[in-house]
């Protein structure tokens, strides 16, 4: 287990020395953008679903109210 931990720490140090941290930071930033877009799409979907449901219930209410 100590070998794996030492190897991991060596790899992290190597990444930091070779400039891979910029790549990792850019990748994390892009991941954040993707997550934000997914959350926004989910919110838009639920807003559209709620609006469609309201329209359906409004149409049904008008249909049954008009048939009295």
State pTM to two decimals. Answer: 0.53
What are the boundaries of each domain within the chain?
A: 24-68
Query: What is the rounded (10 degree) CA torsion for 46, 52, 56, 59?
Result: 140
Q: Give 9-66 pLDDT, tens digit per residue.
A: 888 777 776 666 677 777 778 888 889 999 999 999 999 999 999 999 999 999 988 7
**Kind plus residue range of the DSSP H or E element containing 19:** none
**Kind plus residue range of the DSSP H or E element containing 1:** none
Handedness of CA 29, 34, 40, 43 (dihedral sign): negative
């Amino acid at each position: 287990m100590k070998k794996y931990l030492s190897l991991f720490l060596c790899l992290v140090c190597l990444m930091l020395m070779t400039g891979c941290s910029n790549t990792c930071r850019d990748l994390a930033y892009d991941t954040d953008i993707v997550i934000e877009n997914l959350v926004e799409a989910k919110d838009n979907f639920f807003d559209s679903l709620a609006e469609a449901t309201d329209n359906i219930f409004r149409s049904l209410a008008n249909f049954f109210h008009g048939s009295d």
